[in-house]
Amino acid sequence: MELTHELRENAGFQWVLNRLSPMSPFGKAAARSLRWYGPGEEAALEEELDNVALAMELWNAGTTAPQTEGCGCGPVQLTEAERKDAAAALRGVTRCLPLFHDIRGSFDRDPGAPFDLVELFEIKHFLVTLEQLVQAYAALPPMAGLSFPSLADALELMDPEGRRLPTFSVVNSYHNDLAPLRAEKAKLEKAIRMTMEDKRGPLMEKRRVLAVEEDKLELEVRRMLTGKLMAYKQAFLDNMETLGRLDLIVAKAKLALRYNCVRPALSADKSITLRGVRHPQVEEDLAERGEQFTLLDLDLKPGCTVITGANMGGKTVSLRSTVLSLLLCQCGFFVFAQSATLPLFHRVELILADSGPGAGGLSSFGKEVHLLDKLLRETHGQFFFVALDEFARGTNPQEGAALARALVRHLSSLDCVALMTTHYDGVSDVAAAHYQVAGLVRDIQGDEGDDPRKRIARRMDYRLLPAPPGAPCPRDALRVCRLLKLDDTLMELFQADL
């Protein structure tokens, strides 16, 4: 599945990715091309989540902060001493990760083009750092699917003296003629220093000839090293891929600990169960204003579930929170919830008509119809999830309500789970389930001079409550307008026309 820019932005997934902190170029590349775990890949996803859980446990154990009771990641079977040693090893791994440079481009070269000295330095630096990381990694409990192909022979080639210094030079041992030539050159340079400047000409010419010969020998060595190193190309690339995966796993673990995320369980019956789900981007925005996010509970079964409720009641946030949970789970992340049981979909989509420019100059209504049609055509024979925000609100109410009802019926006939918000009556009659925002239920006095948005927030109960099919949509527009201090004359005309 393609995680488009629009989907990442609208769901808040990009916000999460921006707070991910891989330390190596390979981890950053892995974060840009996340694996999507679809139906049939449950075992692979569980392995990834096991790895994240292990990294969470060890990272948590390695902190000096007071330990919380569990980390939402599941048990890791280690004794206290083992956990302490493994936590230190993980810190050793993370100390190595930022030291790597991206050398993939060096191995994408024309045949016969030798590595230059800078490239050889970078390759040796990579090998020395990799050896240090692999030694630390070996002290960890094994992570599923992560192994480092041996590059010991390549390291010996690049470090024939065994000093393990992250530097490189063409040492004498690479060619039998280098040592005597360099000795002669050094002797000549000493003679040059001891000779009057006006008599150095013949000596300088001899030095130039030796330097040219030395360059030829070094080129010969570089060609030899290039040929031998290129034989290890796939092992180098495989190690870089493993480094990227390991780096990404640690970054996922640190993110989950930072935001108190929970490991998702995988659903066996295509249903979604979310308890205490939250949207971290909205939660952070609210916290900056001194407000608190209302945790949401949702149970979604195959077919289309409908959410109705007051304007400004958080219906769109509930869609975004659900989609974000699915995207995170299917990319191997822990989710922002107290608990989550989720199935794996071939595709997850969020259709917000007002999220950006229309397709080919279409109106908001035209855009959402275009996106829906594209989704239905591309998911034939697939299990998919779609969230739709007030679908068909951009056309006349009679036709819009009819189209919304027709869509709910049609989605119920497909292999999908769908979630739709609406203000149209009659849509929930044909839905698989119906939720309503609790709404403007709090009676508060004495805040008439406060910011209108805060007045609404104080009175709004954002919880999603199960509602019977066909329950009428709430009629809160008049009260919302009054709280927003709409012009008095207009309000009188509005109320008289109801």
Give tens-digit pLDDT for 107-159: 998 888 999 999 999 999 999 999 999 999 999 999 999 999 999 999 999 99
List pLDDT tens digits, range 253-302.
Answer: 999 999 999 999 999 999 999 999 999 999 999 999 888 999 999 999 99
Question: CA–CA separation, 280 vs 325, rounded Å?
Answer: 11
Q: What is the sign of the dihedral through the CA atoms of 163, 164, 165 and 167? A: positive
The enclosing H or E element of 347 equals: strand 347-351
In this structure, what are the phi and psi dihedrals at residue 54, rounded to the nearest 5 degrees?
-65, -45
List pLDDT tens digits, range 424-443.
Answer: 989 999 999 999 998 876 67
Question: CA–CA separation, 169 vs 218, rounded Å?
Answer: 10
Q: Which two tokens stand for residue 213?
A: 């010969």
List pLDDT tens digits, range 30-63.
Answer: 999 999 999 999 999 999 999 999 999 999 886 6
Could you tell me the pLDDT band of residue 360, with boundaries at 50, 70 and 90? low
Q: What DSSP character marks residue 107?
A: G
Q: Which two tokens stand for residue 76?
A: 């890791």
Could you give the angle at the alpha carbon of 152 between the alpha carbons of 148 and 158, nearest 5°? Answer: 125
Determine the angle formed by the axes of helices 233-258 and 80-96, rounding to 10 degrees: 120
In this structure, what are the phi and psi dihedrals at residue 306, rounded to the nearest 5 degrees?
-115, 140
List pLDDT tens digits, range 438-492.
Answer: 887 667 776 777 777 777 777 778 899 999 988 887 777 777 787 788 888 887 8
SS3 35: coil
pLDDT of amino acid 70: 47
SS3 31: helix
pLDDT of amino acid 494: 79
List pLDDT tens digits, range 389-414.
Answer: 999 888 898 999 999 999 999 999 99
According to DSSP, the residues that pair with 296 across neighbouring strands are: 277
Q: What is the mean pLDDT of residues 176-203?
A: 93
Q: Which residue in 233, 51, 8 sits closest to 142, CA to CA?
A: 51
- Give the type of residue at 173: S
Q: Which two tokens stand for residue 25?
A: 């170029």
Find out whether 305 and 433 touch, Cβ atoms under 8 Å. yes
Find out whether 76 and 141 touch, Cβ atoms under 8 Å. yes
Could you tell me the pLDDT band of residue 311, with boundaries at 50, 70 and 90? confident
350 pLDDT above the threshold of 70? yes
Q: Which residue in 171, 137, 177 sits closest to 157, CA to CA?
A: 171
According to DSSP, the residues that pair with 464 across neighbouring strands are: 437
Find out whether 358 and 364 touch, Cβ atoms under 8 Å. yes
Q: Which two tokens stand for residue 27?
A: 């981890």
327 pLDDT above the threshold of 70? yes
Could you tell me the pLDDT band of residue 106, with boundaries at 50, 70 and 90? very high
SS3 421: strand
- Give the type of residue at 305: T
Question: CA–CA separation, 417 vs 186, rounded Å?
Answer: 78
Report strand pairing: 265-266 vs 339-342. Answer: parallel
Q: Which residue in 332, 247, 236, 252 sits closest to 26, CA to CA?
A: 247
Find out whether 122 and 103 touch, Cβ atoms under 8 Å. yes
pLDDT of amino acid 66: 44
* pLDDT > 70: percent of the chain: 94
In this structure, what are the phi and psi dihedrals at residue 46, rounded to the nearest 5 degrees?
-60, -35
Could you tell me the pLDDT band of residue 191, with boundaries at 50, 70 and 90? very high
Helices (H), 138-279: 152-158, 178-193, 201-230, 233-258
Question: CA–CA separation, 415 vs 379, rounded Å?
Answer: 9
SS3 20: coil
Length of the chain: 498
**Cβ of 406: how many Cβ atoms within 10 Å?**
13
Q: Which two tokens stand for residue 373?
A: 């049609």
